[in-house]
Structure 1
């Protein structure tokens, strides 16, 4: 008996046919979702955060915990697959995924041949030797991602929104102190300086703010100098605050409470602002916008 009715061979066959029909009807939708979700893997945070902005998720990403620790971003897709460290991804895991492409940065060229056995590989980075300006390189990089992932419409919208946000922040930035020196503590004797072609430097250009650093810098736009060299810098110091990272907290506290630091002219004059590092310092448009928003607000409040 079932709901007061007796089960007959005819009823059983009808019920079974209904179940099979339901499964067959829903299967194309379910299988299409799997195919759409499992399309891209990346070994680069700049690529990953751009993918988050233009599609539901990149199916696989290296260094997930490191990215979360640095940016304090807890909004990553819950079904994101962690493929291990970026320099040494888990190739066995990658080979089990239904990948259309693997996007890697320029510095991981040594992985290209091995990864090409799993899926087509493309190399790209907003930090390259192109003669374009830093912002133009970032836009071109974003457009490349749109091409590789067939998300050109979403990428164009991301770029339009970013340009609009930068334009509005530029109007506010006219009253902010400058020139600015962007500083991050490396150890008790050295600091990293972010030059014009770094992400922070690119944002300063977009906001119409002057970067006090005019010295040489790497492809990433960074330079390492001794803390004593800051005596010669007449600028408002913006400290990339990494105290939320246990490995960096002690160093930052030691430097900022040291006698040497306290004697720096900019520090003595109070020309210093702490900026929460809630962005990836080698990131792309999403981090650039977070940095721009945080910078303008922090300088307005200081």
Structure 2
């Protein structure tokens, strides 16, 4: 599976966001340079807790890959990351330096390894428990992001990025990232409309195999990458039950028979080269009968496009969706 802690968008119009962003990025270099040297800074995290720092954090540990991507894209190379090898496999939008320390797995990071790095700040997602946060906060400030919210995942992504940017003195960089992201969305939507593909259906999934059984995880309306497609003017064809946090649901190959539209394109990731769709279902009669398989509308995403990332991974997804619907 592409995410170990599964048991665990929608913002204002692109035009309005672009106007807002353009008005805030022209003269930020000097203030931001001084802000990075100043302090203190206080950030309210997803728990509603005020995190106070003597100055913007420069030595940061990231415990989830979406937040790690955000840190790197802001110009803050973490000193420690949970499973940096896995990050290198699944995330190519913002690459880590070779010297970044491994602090354990994302599901179970090592508190000792984190504390040994003497960071100014630890950034992690809300995992539904307070155990790890309480352990870490004995030694270091912890900023807890929301990580996902199927009610508004694009808005949540923006909020998480801005929260991290404020804590690290990188607000100008965040404004630039979001402005570029909004341009990509607006440009992609126009290209799809110009190609006559507005409203066309899509579905996004990943999967895993246990024995001879293939389980499929579908990305519903509120999943982050689904929201990208919707904002581009496309229609998510998967309407099955999903969870409230991630917008993810589970099915099997029989469940995919509801995807009947011959214009539907089906996207999936297999960055670790475990391709259950090409390998696990190759001989399955139901799979071979599905319209998107017969039409050749099955798309394995290029390796390293993270489905739970920040603006840079989002732009990678946008590029692939636009490319598919404008050929």
Shorter-chain TM-score above 0.5 = yes
Specify the alignment match of 1:211 in structure 2: 236
Question: Is the counterpart of residue 63 in structure 1 residue 83 in structure 2?
Answer: yes
**Is 1:173 aligned to residue 192 of structure 2?**
yes
For the pair shown, which has the larger CA radius of gyration, 1 or 2? 1
CA contact (8 A) 1:99 1:119 kept: yes
Q: Quote the Cα distance in structure 2 between the aligned partners of 1:223 and 1:80.
A: 34
Quickly say closer, same or farther: Cα 1:258–1:264, change in 2 above 3 A. same
1:121 aligns with 2:149: no
- The structure richer in helix per residue is 1
Residues 60, 80 of structure 1: 8 Å contact kept: yes
Shift of 1:72: 5.3
* 1:216 Cα offset (Å): 2.0
Counterpart of 2:275 in 1: which secondary structure? Answer: helix
Over aligned residues, Cα RMSD in angstroms?
2.5
Where do residues 237-276 of structure 1 align in structure 2 (5 Å cutoff)?
237-242=265-270, 244-246=271-273, 248-249=274-275, 252-276=278-302
How much has 1:104 moved relative to structure 2?
A: 1.0
Q: Output the TM-score relative to the length of structure 2.
A: 0.73
* Counterpart-to-counterpart distance in 1, 2:185 and 2:155: 14
State the Cα distance separating 1:250 from its structure 2 match.
5.7
* Structure 2 gap ranges (5+): 1-36, 38-54
The 5-angstrom pairing of residues 194-205 of structure 1 reads 194-205=219-230
**Counterpart in 2 of 1:134?**
153
> Secondary structure in 1 aligned to 2:78?
coil
Q: Does 1:80 align with 2:100?
A: yes
Question: 8 Å contact 2:267–2:298 — kept in the other structure?
Answer: yes
Q: Residue by residue, what CA displacement relative to the aligned partner does 1:147-203 show, whole Å, maximum 9, x if unpaired?
A: 222211111111111111111111112234721111323234331111121121111
Residue 226 of structure 1 aligns with which residue? 252
SS at match of 1:245: coil
What does the per-residue CA deviation read over 1:242-284, in whole Å, with 9 as the maximum and x for residues that have no partner?
1x424x2366413134322111233223343332242212222
C-alpha distance in structure 1 between counterparts of 2:276 and 2:232, whole Å: 32
Paired position in structure 2 for 1:53: 73
Aligned counterparts of 1:259 and 1:241: Cα–Cα separation in 2: 22
Contact 1:109 1:123 in 2 (8 A): no
Aligned to 1:191: 216
- SS in structure 2 opposite 1:50? helix
Which sections of structure 1, spanning at least 5 residues, go unmatched? Answer: 1-31
Offset of residue 109 of structure 1: 3.1
Partner of 1:43: 63
1:159 paired with 2:178, answer yes
Higher relative contact order (CA 8 A, sep 6+): 2
